A and B are shown apart, each in its own frame.
Chain A
Amino acid sequence: MSRLRGVGPIAWREISTVVRTRGYLLLSFGLLVVFLGVLRGGGGIRGGYVPTAVDLLLPLELLVPLVAVALGYRAFSGDNDDRSVLRTYPVSDRSLAVGVFAGRFVGLAAIVGTPLAVVGLAVSRIGGPSSSVFATHQGVDSPVLFVRFIALTICFGAAVLAMTMAASVLVRTGRATLAAALAVLVVVVAGGDLLALIGLTAGVIEDDLLGTALAVSPNAAYRGLVLESVVGVATDQGGTIDVPVAVAGLAGWTAVSLAVIAGLGRRTVSKIRSRFRIGFERLKDTVPR
């Protein structure tokens, strides 16, 4: 355990930081308002757990990366960055990466998970027509499916959180951190699908490979897993995504990002960074003023 020494206090500090930042509380509340608004428009709550999940899937695909980026890019920025001092403590890079990520992840889970739990409770109260006239049954609609939905959402958020933290670590200056975080946001929200679309139109990706190709992109993986293990179970429609690849994809993005944060392969990272800089300089020289 000595390799992970210090993870506890570091993680706790992150959790405390998130808790003490009022903005995150407002963010969570704002999410709840958005969810209820979306559901009101779609009537999902009355339909049950699965229609509610369907209604929330799209807003979540956009909002969860937003929350993850908001949490992630501030992890090592400005006043939150005391790595120069931390290095003098018996805390390894690995501990720092894991600890900060764990703490922020708990924050993400709370910010995103609480409104979803509230919605779930609303469904259990309001949802599903009860009738004194007709005999009702549950259909294939159950809180288990909604719990899966929440779990997948949080896992998606974890991957994006890790990616954002990795991006902010790769970039040195403060302003660039925000830019890097936004770049992650755009890539996650649109990039994967765009690439899949281009690949499909260019004939590079075959139809039966689409499920696999999509699974590599984090948001498509999330979407596909929800359709497969939540919606698909209730409607008996499967095959929307290559499940093992999707799970591996999300886990992979998270693991690689954590490794980057921990500075593993720091030399590789430095090399990449200096190559980029050299290339950039050369580019600047060639462009006429």
Chain B
Amino acid sequence: MAIRVAVLVVCCLLASVGAVSFLVAPGASDPDPAEFDRTVAMGLTLEEQRTLGERVVPRAQIAYSQYPYLVGYRGIGLAAAAVDDPLVSQQFGYPQVVYVETAPPDVSLDDSGFLVGEYTGEWIPAAEAVFVIDSAARIPSGPTPVAFNEEDRAAAFASTHGGEVVGWEERGRFEAPPSDGSDARDRIDAQHAAANETVDSAFELLDRPTGTVVGEDAPTLSAALENAEAGTVVRLPPGTYRGPVEIDRSVTLSGEDAVIVGDGNGTVVTVSADDVAISGVSIAGVGESLQPEDIPDEDRSDWDRQTEAAYGYSDAAITADGVDRLLVTGAAMDTPASGIILRDTQGAVVDGVRVNGTDEWRDGFMGVVTIRSPAVIQRSTFDGGRDGVYTHRSDGIVIRNNRFVDGRFGTHFMYTSDGLFSGNCASEQALSGITIMTSPAGNAIADNVITDTEQGISTSGSDSYIGGNVVVDTDQAIRTSARNSLYADNTVVGNAVGFRASSVFPTSVVVRNDVADNDRHVRATSGPLRVWSEGEEGNYWEGAEGLDRRYSPTDPVDGRLHRTEAARTLAAAPIVRGLRTLRGSVPGMRGESVIDAAPRDTPVHPDRLETARRIADGSADPGEVCAA
């Protein structure tokens, strides 16, 4: 009898638990705000964060219903935009609670409009806060709303710095720059045009009258340079010339079959004047040192002093520091360290240059290093060495139509935003064709051909455009790790992994790509559901032609459709179909899930796909597609 009673009691208990579950509100009350450093934070590039120094940025935190981490926003405008973004709710659920950090009571603005004060660490629900918009307050990415917990404080701020006091419900008026990679894409033509102007201007330096001929008018190159008149050409007849030399006046050094050989102990040609051009010469005898002997102790920002020292002061064929307008064209250099180092140089153009580095990348250094020098680097070939081009804080740099062979990274963007990497060919790199690090913003990687490397394109940061690239025969073609970016019109063929989705908080648009012949079209890490289609616009996936339903490249069955016909049979199984339908419609964290709601039946760029296929099977050479 006792057992019957026990069973009865247990049944009643369970039944009441079941009934109560409908009365109780699920989950705890709204989550508390966290320390900002522990949120998944976004909103400024690393460089912008570092240059802030003592200044502050109005911050927000959002807890989404189907995303387990608190998301931090540097910039209230960015948070407001995210709250109303359907893409965000599709992937992360609805915003459960939004917190904003109130501005310090004694907040003021400096000359740039940045807020001066200390982070208060006081987080209040956005609905309870008051905001000042349209004031003079700014953050590196533009004007910003400022949050206060009391109306008087807000009003006081507005009267001093302008602007209007509003509540959270008027967040539609908050300033936030559109951040979806389209700016980067739409800027490309203008960037090319501006680069053309820079190049034209630099090439004017070749139209100079001949001043000195070495060997005739002067015994040595150094002597010629000492006596040369500004605005003339120092001509080098075929032969070998001893360096190192310094060009300290505005002359053009021009030669053919002329080799300048250094003493193997340092930089061969040092440029310290504006308006210098170096044309047609070859340079050898570069020193092997990768570290500086000493750095000039100027009042530069501290935070990147170490980085700059590590990368910007090796021995090089040509080094220019603090000059305006420099042209290096048609030159060739062999170097165990770097090829060309540009520091704080404006209007520099590297055109048609060939840099041969070391065979082992660990032994060598960079083809071109740009430190705060947004140069134009074009039509050049970088073979071996470590990185072909290494950029540091060179916003707006243009790297186009070059060829990168071997080495570690074809091009290495560090702390560089708004750059353009276009029309290049990269192959055989040990690590990747192009890599972007330190979360910059606004870079455009377009129309490149990358083959036979470990990683094709490795991105970072936000608001970038990765489009029109052909990536073939790599271990991992494109990492979609940049946020709020646009990955479109790429052709990804014959790789071990096509796309690697690894962002912790993915908000990029991935559409109109042609993906074929990869072992795995997509590899995704555990994270939120990623929807890789926009409305009716999806991608072309080999194996998904004629599917007429949503396609998931990470699904164990869908992901094999292009490799075995039998997968199609399994894919049609009722339970597989049913699971697929439900899973794709509910946001939330799950292992490995990428969904394309509108997969294409035909490729977006069939000719390019055909060529990529032929490159993959060896019957065509990458050079056929390469613009370089």
- Within 8 Å of chain B (Cβ to Cβ): is A133? yes
A140 touches B592 (CB 8 A): no
The listed residue (B63, B69, B590) touching A43 by CB distance below 8 A is: B590
A57 touches B592 (CB 8 A): no
- Of chain B, the residue at the smallest CB distance from A138 is B27
- Within 8 Å of chain B (Cβ to Cβ): is A233? yes
The listed residue (B11, B19, B65, B504) touching A139 by CB distance below 8 A is: B65
- Within 8 Å of chain A (Cβ to Cβ): is B578? yes
- Within 8 Å of chain B (Cβ to Cβ): is A42? yes
What is the 8 Å Cβ interface bit string for chain A, positions 213-250, against chain B (1 contact, 0 not)? 00000000000000001010111100000000000000
A48 touches B588 (CB 8 A): yes
What is the 8 Å Cβ interface bit string for chain B, positions 54-92, against chain A (1 contact, 0 not)? 000000000111111110000000000000000001000
A129 touches B526 (CB 8 A): yes
- Within 8 Å of chain B (Cβ to Cβ): is A115? no
Of B35-43, B411-419, B423-431, B602-610, the stretch lying at the interface with chain A is B35-43
Complex Cα–Cα for A141 and B65 (A) = 7
- Of chain A, the residue at the smallest CB distance from B589 is A47
- Within 8 Å of chain A (Cβ to Cβ): is B619? no
A150 touches B18 (CB 8 A): yes
Complex Cα–Cα for A174 and B7 (A) = 32
- Within 8 Å of chain B (Cβ to Cβ): is A147? yes
Main secondary structure of the interface of A (DSSP, over half): helix
A-chain residues with CB within 8 Å of residue B68 when the two chains form the complex: 48, 128-129, 131, 136-139, 141
- Within 8 Å of chain B (Cβ to Cβ): is A15? yes
Complex Cα–Cα for A57 and B588 (A) = 16
- Of chain B, the residue at the smallest CB distance from A38 is B579
- Of chain B, the residue at the smallest CB distance from A61 is B578
Query: Count of A residues near B, CB < 8 Å?
Result: 48
A42 touches B590 (CB 8 A): yes
A-chain residues with CB within 8 Å of residue B593 when the two chains form the complex: 43
Q: A58-B579, A234-B66, A234-B93 are in contact. Are A142 and B26 (CB under 8 A)?
A: yes
A194 to chain B, nearest CB (A): 15
B64 touches A139 (CB 8 A): yes
A140 touches B590 (CB 8 A): no
Give residues 23-49 of A contacting B (CB, 8 Å): 38, 41-44, 46-48
The listed residue (A15, A51, A135) touching B590 by CB distance below 8 A is: A51
A141 touches B66 (CB 8 A): yes
- Within 8 Å of chain B (Cβ to Cβ): is A283? no
Complex Cα–Cα for A136 and B69 (A) = 4
- Within 8 Å of chain A (Cβ to Cβ): is B547? no
Complex Cα–Cα for A154 and B34 (A) = 39
The listed residue (A57, A109, A145) touching B26 by CB distance below 8 A is: A145
- Within 8 Å of chain A (Cβ to Cβ): is B21? yes
The listed residue (A129, A145, A236) touching B93 by CB distance below 8 A is: A236
B583 touches A54 (CB 8 A): yes
Give residues 565-612 of B contacting A (CB, 8 Å): 575, 578-579, 582-583, 586-593
8 contacts between A and B (CB under 8 A): A54-B582, A54-B583, A54-B586, A135-B35, A135-B39, A138-B27, A235-B66, A235-B588
Residues of B at the A interface (CB closer than 8 Å) are 4, 7, 11, 14, 17-19, 21-22, 24-28, 31, 34-35, 38-40, 63-70, 89, 93-94, 96, 504, 526, 556, 575, 578-579, 582-583, 586-593
